[in-house]
Amino acid sequence: MNSVDSFIGRRIRQFRWVCGVTQAELAEHLSVDPGQISAYEAGTNRVAAAQLLQIATVLDIPVASFFDGIAAPSGADQNGPPKTIGSNRAEMLSHFNEMTDPQQVALLKMAQTMATHLGNLATPAQSANDLQSATATERQR
């Protein structure tokens, strides 16, 4: 298999873990042996497009998420390690998955507000100070 197959396999594992689904549970939903899921995740077996769509449906994620962060091919087979979602994002997604729908909506709105009003490059200390200032300003209104 090639680096794209390995990348997709790692993404399946990441999203499955974040969603709290075991290999056995995913295999049951797909009517395959758990060893097949393991082979997909290891990149030793190629995932068919229809199977990838089923996996996305079971995990309740857009199928395009499996390709986020993959480098566009430059004409030849890709070399080097593909990007992953990173530990901070994986931890955030794991906690997000444990929340109720109303909690998820509230957190999403908060993140959108912070990104819009505070900018994406603020440090945590700057963000905390700016957030306190913004909260104080809102209370005065």
Q: What is the pLDDT of residue 40?
A: 93
Cβ(12)–Cβ(47) under 8 Å? yes
Please determine, for residue 105, whether its predicted confidence score (pLDDT) is greater than 50.
yes
**pLDDT tens by residue, 30-44:** 999 999 999 999 989
Query: pTM for the complete prediction?
Result: 0.55
**pLDDT tens by residue, 33-74:** 999 999 999 989 999 999 999 999 999 888 888 888 777 655
Going along the chain from its start, the domains and CATH numbers come out as: 3-86 (1.10.260.40), 99-140 (no CATH)
